Structure 1
Amino acid sequence: MAAKKVLVVLTSHDKIDALNKQTGWYLPEFAHPHHILTEKNVQVTVVSPKGGAAPLDQGSLEGSKDDPVAMAFFENQKALWENTATIKEFRGRSAEFDAIFFPGGHGPMYDLVNDADSIALVEEFYRAGKIVSAVCHGTIALVNVKVDGEHIIKGREITGFTNEEEDFIKLTSAMPMLVEDKVIAAGGKFVKAGVFGDKVAVDGQFVTGQNPVSANSFGKALVAAIGA
């Protein structure tokens, strides 16, 4: 049987604009799913809007010092995020993959939410019946995708970083939007555990995780969804 393949989409945005604070993609939200995927021999290809180096949220690195999976990923897999292809290069190529996956971090709130190539690629994966997946703030990449005028997440159970979690880390006022609000506005059924609880939602083609704590459970659900 041919190896399963997942297209991972990282942010190219490196700061929380309102605070001029460094951000990017969140280390454990890529590290843990990657660990589980590669254990099952799933091949991973990484893209970003601008290509080249996708910015790692340095705060997520500092916060992962006691996470051996995240630290091993950081030490051994830098080529994955330092040499990304552009999203545009992969439009029209959904047939090559079993799923598309958006890790979080605050970066996606600024670029992936409205990136035309990303939106077109998600639409393509969705129309092809592929798995569409995201963790935490990565879920924002799904909220503006429509097929035949309807939001693709309408009526679906979806999770992501919650309003309460954004309040807890005191970044609500700095955000251009909130994941939970945008999912609900798009007609999604936003589901959640408590603040930094472990929550994964699987509904049809969609696999979403609430937050960094959910990254491991999300990885297992994604592997199951693609049959790896």
Structure 2
Amino acid sequence: MKILMILTSHADFGASGRKTGFWMEEFAAPYYRFAEAGAEITLASPAGGQPPVDPASLGADFQSDDTRRFEKDEEAQTLLANTSKLTDVQASDFDAVFYPGGHGPLYDLTDNVASLALLTEFHTAAKPIGAVCHGVAALVKATTKNNEPIVAGLELTGFTDSEEAAVGATDLVPYSVEQGLQKAGGIFRSADDWADFAIRDGVLVTGQNPGSSDSTARLLLEALEG
């Protein structure tokens, strides 16, 4: 079982002066669920090398057993510091793909040609596609081999407009992921703000927020087993 995890390479939160990147819990929880299931994990990003971590995600309030495990895991840290370039990976080498969030993906994965091509190939081969929180930004413009949105008619979730407002980012983000998925034809579902909420519709698996990272990863593993 081989799983590709794609992280952002983008560190600047628009012109706000704030920093972003990937959200640590959204990487750590899926990484360890996949590893515990015996998966061979490959990490990739648009630029390759060390992806930027959102400094806010390192705050004491956002730590979990998985993030603390990562802090002591030199092997995982080395893997993260040396991600492959997206242009160097092939969908045919993997059984599933997963996108952690953080606000970074809004900037460098929504329109990323290599990422979009990979998603088309994964979809065509009916291989599971997973994303959590803002990682769903990678799905907004993803299309089938017939150039139709891959999310069209599917139930999915992601970081909600109300959660975006709660973190004071409504006026900072380049677009709303909730509205972007709806415009692409997705059937957007959500639970209360910050609730653990994940959906599987066929081979598409999505999670609402950082607290949904573990359950989203588990659903992706179910999709692989199915």
Under TM normalisation by the shorter chain, which class is it? over 0.9
| Structure 2 match to 1:89 | 88
- Deviation at residue 213 of structure 1 after TM alignment: 0.7
Which of 175, 191, 194 matches 1:193?
Answer: 191
| Structure 1 match to 2:201 | 203
Per-residue CA deviation, residues 116-152 of structure 1 (Å, 9 max, x unaligned), is 1111111111111111110000001011011213101
User: CA separation in 2, counterparts of 1:89 and 1:149?
Assistant: 23
Per-residue CA deviation, residues 17-63 of structure 1 (Å, 9 max, x unaligned), is 13121110000011111111111111110000011111111110114
Provide closer, same or farther for how the CA distance between residues 66 and 107 of structure 1 changes in structure 2, counting only shifts above 3 A: closer
| Structure 1 match to 2:79 | 80
- Deviation at residue 224 of structure 1 after TM alignment: 1.1
| Structure 1 match to 2:222 | 224
User: CA separation in 1, counterparts of 2:199 and 2:120?
Assistant: 20
User: CA separation in 2, counterparts of 1:19 and 1:86?
Assistant: 27
Which of 105, 109, 113 matches 1:116?
Answer: 113
Task: Single out whichever of 93-102 and 197-206 deviates more from structure 2.
Answer: 93-102
User: CA separation in 1, counterparts of 2:57 and 2:78?
Assistant: 18
- Deviation at residue 153 of structure 1 after TM alignment: 0.4
User: CA separation in 2, counterparts of 1:219 and 1:56?
Assistant: 19
| Structure 1 match to 2:152 | 154
Which of 128, 131, 149 matches 1:131?
Answer: 128
| Structure 2 match to 1:20 | 17
Q: Which residues of structure 1 form unaligned runs of 5+?
A: none
- Verify: 1:101 aligned to 2:98, yes or no: yes
Secondary structure in structure 1 of the residue aligned to 2:195 = coil
Query: How many residue pairs get matched?
Result: 223
- Deviation at residue 220 of structure 1 after TM alignment: 1.2
Per the normalisation by structure 1, the TM-score is 0.94
Secondary structure in structure 2 of the residue aligned to 1:8 = strand
Stretches of 4+ aligned residues off by more than 6 angstroms: none
Report the identity percentage: 39
* Matched-pair contact (CA < 8 Å) for 2:140–2:181: yes
| Structure 1 match to 2:161 | 163
Provide closer, same or farther for how the CA distance between residues 22 and 208 of structure 1 changes in structure 2, counting only shifts above 3 A: same
User: CA separation in 2, counterparts of 1:215 and 1:144?
Assistant: 22
Which of 2, 8, 18 matches 2:5?
Answer: 8
Per the normalisation by structure 2, the TM-score is 0.95
| Structure 2 match to 1:178 | 176
Secondary structure in structure 2 of the residue aligned to 1:101 = strand
